[in-house]
Structure 1
Amino acid sequence: KTTGDGILIEFASVVDAVGCAVTVQRGMLTRNADIEADRRIVFRVGINVGDIIIDEGDILGDGVNIAARLEALCEPGGICISRTANDQIGGKLSLSFADLGEQVVKNISRAIGVFGLTAKDIEALPQTDLPRLQPTTASPAAPREPEPVYEQQIEFCTSPDGIRLAHSCIGRGPPLVKTGNWMTHLEFDLESPIWQHLYRELSRDHTFIRYDARGNGLSDREVEEVTLEAFVRDLETVVDAAGLDRFALLGISQGCAVSVAYAVRHPERVTHLVLYGGYAQGWTKRPQTEVERQRNEAMLTLVQLGWGQENPAFRQLFTSQFVPGGTKEQADWFNELQRMSTSPDDAVRNLKAQGNIDITGLLGEVRAPTLVMHARDDARVPFEAGRRLAAGIPSAKFVPLQGRNHLILETEPAFTRFVQEIRVFLQA
């Protein structure tokens, strides 16, 4: 959850949390080295182990309150953790937090044992002393009993600029094309609790066609041109290679903008448009404060520095935005999906491309029947962005869904309604 100029993140273990904090603070030291002092972004991190309450997308409870007080006690660029947290990382991480004694803080009835690392402590850590996760959490949890095997044949086609795109289809029925979006993998996704349930349901009644976007999954990596226009050309290439004439189009997240742009360019080919978790303007185009702008720029730097590490603690930052309500198994799978699906350079290119999207001028030209859905407490894309997307498309139906996951999970109640809305809409 974002809190103005702060972020609240829930981790499966305190080892993961501390590992992520050290990675972030070290990355910020590297970023700030070449930036004027008055333009630097400096974080303080507080970490506690305790109970939390999740209420309508908000995170409450002593676990949060104490973490917030620890953050306030922390020096800029450093990390403060509670005694409980320090006890639990003992022997698991090659770090030594200084004992700062018992501290009395506002609105907490008891004194808190506080341990800290300063920015200088973090800067002095040898590279080899970066925290490492335990092997049991460094890779995804073993998959559950597999769903029925999908018979998919992966094929490749080539975009006008020479990029090889991997695409496949499963199921039978009228064609439904899912536009490529960031972080997919044609093979891995069929086993993943992040995507598997969605593909299972949508392929029951349709021939479900999907592809890995450029720079993702089995499609070509290290691609220089990563833009909205390139994404639209890729969609054109895939549907032509699949021999499709008219079809329904599903866009998720950044794929919504690609779907809208394609539907406007080829109105004769799109029978229905389904958009979930999308936006008309990317994060650089939407109104934002100076703090938000600097935070987004800092995130790009952190991606460049930390994405390729074997330790998934850093990638948990993105997991907490995409699937904050996920189980530990789902979080582990998503952490692994990030590593498998794209490189640090491609991740940065994708984030920049997402930020530069602006299709507000196209919305009024959409002619296809359109269904727009968005989670009320989406932790990645603001609900207001989804509402504005729907409001700009003539006669679009807008369905708010309960939840805070940017990628809808099978374990949340909203998934049933999500599937029902799509089925009814596509049959109309």
Structure 2
Amino acid sequence: MELGEWVTGGGYNENFLPEKRHVTRYDLDQASTQHPMQLVHTSGHVSVANSLALKIAGITRDTPDPQGGHIVRDENGEPTGVLEENAMTLVMQHIPEITEEQMADAIRAAMAHQLTLGITSATDPAVDPFHIKVYRQLEAAGRLTVRINLLAERRNGDVIFPLPEKYVSDTLRLDGVKFFADGGMTTATAAIREAFKDVGGHGIMIYETEQLADLMWESHDAGFHIATHANGETALEQVISVYEMITERKPRPVLRHRIEHFALPDPEHLERLARIGGMVATQTVFLPAMGPAYRRYLPDVCIPRAYGVRDMLDAGIEVALSTDAPVVPDDNPLLGLKSAVDRKDHAGVPLAPNQAITMEEALYAYTMGGAILSGDQDNRGSITAGKWADLVILSGDPVTTPVDDLLSLYVEATYVAGQCVYRLSTNPGG
């Protein structure tokens, strides 16, 4: 590696560190002061840069926070290197982009991994024109082994992306757009009403409502479905209000606008989203690894509502369960199913057990729920004559297997369009 080349990494979680704190510029400086460095938090909502990276980005004590972002500073006003939400782009824009070939290799590796887990369809939830180009190239070459749904990001930092060209085939679908309304739960940047425990503050709102409404209306009017990352009550209020406005202005027979995560809805949010036909993609698979962080940061009054899938289903909302990989350390759908039913973290302590659902409900959310949110329920999501025959063969029945034994099951084979694309060659159980 030549002097001055960038060093990047990701996946750290301060809750797993002995100090229970974020890494800082000074920690990274101990690794190198000759290479600019950036380390991204496992959530994707926070990063930390070393001193050289901050210098390259021009970040000093006098640098103002960007809209929808925050530069963390110490008691003397100096940047610690920790950058939240849109502040991350101040450094990221200086990191050399990867090549199309590197991106294609990464996508192929991700698909190969997904097939071992029995995943036949996946959503890439925030792509820009570069990513779209690579996906189109892979599809043209017949290299997409998993059916891919793309959500085109409308804004990244200060950059507003134009609406993409719609494209729908059997293996690649681009008819949706993505927005981020607030930050993450484990980084205490979700926009919540009551202050976070331990760190204080009410999180970060990414958009002014007027700008969000303008971009969402443009997307809705052009016929795209909208997926919006929103966790806290303040962000949910903003997003649902805009959804109500644009759907009243131009109704649709089937809306398909959805909220990603929908972590802390109150009863009014549930009722309003259900009334307009809004949908939810949420992740009970967060609970095993992130349950301790939720207890550390979330106000006690919020815990019974956290990732409240029971409340969502009871309100009549269409729900899809997913993994949000690579945010989680384990993206096995079997873990997501288990967590939906028992709500336990890795220590065996349940979080909001009142929000548990049945295994049958969880399986539906992982299969038909995802197909419905993608608009492809006529082609996938169930074993039905005339559908695509995207199938997974497990070593046992998840409905009759005791939930505590669910992770002993494994994928024996995965089929896409009736063709075996993965088969386990060695039985891990024996």
TM-score w.r.t. the length of structure 1 is 0.31
The structure whose Rg is larger is 1
Larger relative contact order (Cα-Cα within 8 Å, sequence gap ≥ 6): 1
TM-score, structure 2 as length reference: 0.31
